Chain A
Amino acid sequence: MSAPPAIRLVGLNKWFGTFHVLKDIELSVAEGEKIVVCGPSGSGKSTMIRCVNQLERHQEGEVVIHGRRFGESAAQDEAIRRDIGMVFQQFNLFPHMTVLENCTFALTWVKHLPKAEAEAIAMSHLERVRIPEQARKYPLQLSGGQQQRVAIARALCMRPRIMLFDEPTSALDPEMINEVLEVMVELAESGMTMVVVTHEMGFARKVADRIVFMDQGEIVEEAPPGTFFARPRYDRTRLFLSQIL
């Protein structure tokens, strides 16, 4: 019997008030798979990815991570969440802590590691995203691209098995987008399970195993990049691709 999928969304429905944001979402992501989610703004892609680590609660359906379902007990929810790292559009670094403290913070307070060990782990990840020399600075002293790479290092410090990226390059100046994408490509090559909401179609083509296209709260189609770009099945997808490419 094969291992359960890393992420399984079953019949997911969510409303903001009376507005139906997610409609019967079904998605399964295998361990090590890379999914790129795209779609027009307001299509529910961010809400869906935020349901995966339950930053947003859904009203119907199930979110199952590595075979464990969210909502069974508070302790299990916390444990599941620790397996999922997340990177946000606005970086959301803690501005009152140095870059290094941003990374060691959760290691000391959630995993209770001694300071020296936490710093060693943090430095190794800062090296991985190529900014160890900025460790003593505060986030707001860094450029956007550097801040986003710190955010990736911060998430990796917790040794997640899944990484979620919610429009990681949308808030960046054009010349900083590549330095972040390069780090993400390396991460993908290391075998991490990734779900990335992005409009960077170059990245999608290079890295994604499947592309998921969403509109108005539904998954319209999902296909490997080759098929997705060459032969989209729906007119809605074609229209979207013609607008962004």
Chain B
Amino acid sequence: MPDESRLATADRPLVFAPKPSRAPPSSAIGPIAWMRANLFSSVSNALLTLLGAYIVIVVFAAIINWALVDAVWEASNRRECLDKVGRAGACWPGVIAWIPNLLYGLYPKDQVWRINAAFLMLVVWALPLWLPGVRSKLAIGLSAVLLYPFPASYFFHGGEQDLLWTALIALGLAAFAWVWLTTFSERFTGLSFGAFVARVTGDAEQPEESARLRARIGYAVLYLAALALAAQWSLSEVPTRYWGGLFLTLVISGIGITFSLPAGVMLALGRRSHMPFISLCSTAFIELFRSVPLITILFMFNTMLPLFLPVGVEVNRLVRAIVAVCLFAAAYMAEIVRGGLQAILRGQYEAAAAVGLGFWQSTALVIMPQALRIMIPTIVGNFIGLFKDTTLVSIIGLFDLLSMARAVGEDTTWLGLFLEPFFFITLIYFVFCFLMSQYSLNLERRLGAGQRR
């Protein structure tokens, strides 16, 4: 209560001095206080806590006993495992023997390095996105999405190159080299690669025209070098029927995920468009693909698409599956994006228009960044769902991770060994999905800076 010992007079009001803040009492903070408040706040709550702890311990003990303690690690066939421990412990040798197939399918053993090299290339390509001091992150990200597929598909598939194919692969290689050249030059000189070339080849006094010309010559030299490399590059052909396992799962879901976001954004904008034709087409596409199960779409693309194509044109089975997955995922993504767009207040469009932005600028720079941030949990949820849905391609005869796991128990040496491979791929699926979901949480935190409401 304010000090009232002095009486207020007409010319001397009371002085209000706010009380200083104190630290909370020690019983309100710390782990013990937390446990008391959350785990043992009442008798029933305490009982529930103990019961829950008991169930967790029993289940985990059983799993650990089966998977580790009683498990067999060395055997040459399933009979040996059963003789040693019966069904009480896991029989891991079967899974270990099959690991190459689980990861790479029927890809020739001596060529497997190509898959590893291509995935390593992707990691190295995207690495600068997480380095501080790199400014061309948008260009680097775009190059990874648009140009990485060319060298990667040559790594995976190999075989003869025609002229166009060589040119595209060279474009990918040049972009890869550019990513790292520009990363180094921006980190150490603060200049982009083009500006760096211009600086090294001439002095700063020369007019801008000539600097730009020299930067262009730099890019041309880079591309010609890549072209020479691509023309030399020759790998044996590995047809897609040999692709399988985790590798195939990652290829299908990776392409599906990268394609679905931009395609979904365009479809969502199309559906909200004021132009009736565009809006009608987008809506029809979205509703058609959303109302049919993925399995049906895969079947349709696999068996019926060839009937509609002209005679002699043959589309690879894998490509058919990928196209089906992409279109399906895009339709789902479109509705997620539309939901996010609806959450953006009209005032944001008006403010953007009032400072003079056109439709595409305000969509790309004002509306989408906000909508996508709200949608991150749903979008990543959809990615995770898509990643797991790719198991459905096994029904049209592609050997993804799940079908390879099933094949272990059909192998005569390991006949009937189903539980262990499924346990193993469960771990693989868990690791990938968990990483995606953690990354999404991390992204939410970073993009949410200063935007708590």
Q: Mark A202-221, 1 if CB is under 8 A from B, else 0.
A: 00000000000000000000
Which one of A84, A106, A141, A154 has the greatest number of beta carbons of chain B within 10 Å?
A106
Is A140 among interface residues, defined by CB-CB distance under 8 A?
yes
Q: Mark A178-194, 1 if CB is under 8 A from B, else 0.
A: 00000000000000000
Residues of chain B within 8 A of A109, CB atoms compared? 357, 361, 365
Residue A92 contacts which of B348, B373, B452, B453 (CB distance < 8 angstroms)? B348
Interface residue count on the A side (C-beta < 8 Å): 27
Which one of A96, A140, A155 has the greatest number of beta carbons of chain B within 10 Å?
A96
Q: What is the distance, in angstroms, from B208's C-beta to the closest C-beta of chain A?
A: 13
Task: Say yes or no: A86 contacts B451, CB within 8 Å.
Answer: no
Task: Say yes or no: B451 contacts A95, CB within 8 Å.
Answer: yes
A70-108 residues with Cβ-Cβ distance < 8 A to B are 78, 81-82, 84-86, 88, 90, 92-96, 98, 105-106
Task: Say yes or no: A137 contacts B450, CB within 8 Å.
Answer: yes
Task: Say yes or no: B356 contacts A82, CB within 8 Å.
Answer: yes
Bound together, the chains give a CA A95 to CA B448 distance in angstroms of 10
Bound together, the chains give a CA A2 to CA B447 distance in angstroms of 53
A51-83 residues with Cβ-Cβ distance < 8 A to B are 53, 55, 78, 81-82
Task: Say yes or no: A78 contacts B358, CB within 8 Å.
Answer: yes
Residue A96 contacts which of B353, B356, B373 (CB distance < 8 angstroms)? B373
Which one of A88, A90, A92 has the greatest number of beta carbons of chain B within 10 Å?
A92
Residues of chain A within 8 A of B345, CB atoms compared? 90, 92
Q: What is the distance, in angstroms, from B371's C-beta to the closest C-beta of chain A?
A: 10
Bound together, the chains give a CA A53 to CA B355 distance in angstroms of 11
Residues of chain A within 8 A of B358, CB atoms compared? 78
Task: Say yes or no: A94 contacts B356, CB within 8 Å.
Answer: no
Residue B354 contacts which of A86, A90, A98 (CB distance < 8 angstroms)? A86
Is A158 among interface residues, defined by CB-CB distance under 8 A?
yes
Residues of chain A within 8 A of B355, CB atoms compared? 85, 105-106, 110, 154-155, 158
Interface residue count on the B side (C-beta < 8 Å): 24
Is A138 among interface residues, defined by CB-CB distance under 8 A?
yes
Q: Give the interface SS of chain B, mostly helix, strand, loop or mixed.
A: helix
Bound together, the chains give a CA A5 to CA B451 distance in angstroms of 42
Residue A88 contacts which of B351, B365, B369 (CB distance < 8 angstroms)? B351
Is B378 among interface residues, defined by CB-CB distance under 8 A?
no
Given A88-B351, A137-B450, A138-B451, also A106-B357 (CB < 8 A): yes
Task: Say yes or no: B449 contacts A94, CB within 8 Å.
Answer: no
Residue B347 contacts which of A88, A105, A140, A158 (CB distance < 8 angstroms)? A88
Bound together, the chains give a CA A154 to CA B355 distance in angstroms of 8
Compute the total of residue contacts between A and B using a CB distance below 8 Å: 68
Residues of chain B within 8 A of A53, CB atoms compared? 354
A141-155 residues with Cβ-Cβ distance < 8 A to B are 141, 154-155
**Closest chain B residue to A107 by CB distance?**
B355
Residue A140 contacts which of B354, B361, B452 (CB distance < 8 angstroms)? B452
Given A92-B348, A93-B351, A138-B449, also A106-B356 (CB < 8 A): yes
Given A138-B450, A141-B450, A158-B355, also A94-B347 (CB < 8 A): no
Task: Say yes or no: B350 contacts A92, CB within 8 Å.
Answer: yes
Given A96-B451, A141-B450, also A110-B350 (CB < 8 A): no
Residues of chain B within 8 A of A86, CB atoms compared? 350-351, 354
Residues of chain B within 8 A of A81, CB atoms compared? 353-354, 356
Q: What is the distance, in angstroms, from A76's C-beta to the closest C-beta of chain B?
A: 13
Residue B370 contacts which of A78, A85, A96, A158 (CB distance < 8 angstroms)? A96
Bound together, the chains give a CA A93 to CA B351 distance in angstroms of 7
**Closest chain B residue to A53 by CB distance?**
B354
Bound together, the chains give a CA A168 to CA B212 distance in angstroms of 48
Residues of chain B within 8 A of A93, CB atoms compared? 351
Task: Say yes or no: A90 contacts B347, CB within 8 Å.
Answer: yes
Bound together, the chains give a CA A105 to CA B354 distance in angstroms of 13
Bound together, the chains give a CA A138 to CA B358 distance in angstroms of 24
Q: What are 10 sample pairs from A and B whose C-beta atoms fall under 8 A apart? A: A55-B354, A90-B345, A92-B345, A94-B351, A94-B352, A106-B355, A106-B356, A110-B355, A140-B451, A155-B355
Interface residues in chain A, defined as those with a beta carbon under 8 Å from any beta carbon in chain B: 53, 55, 78, 81-82, 84-86, 88, 90, 92-96, 98, 105-106, 109-110, 137-138, 140-141, 154-155, 158
Closest 4 interchain pairs by CB? A138-B450, A92-B351, A106-B355, A92-B347
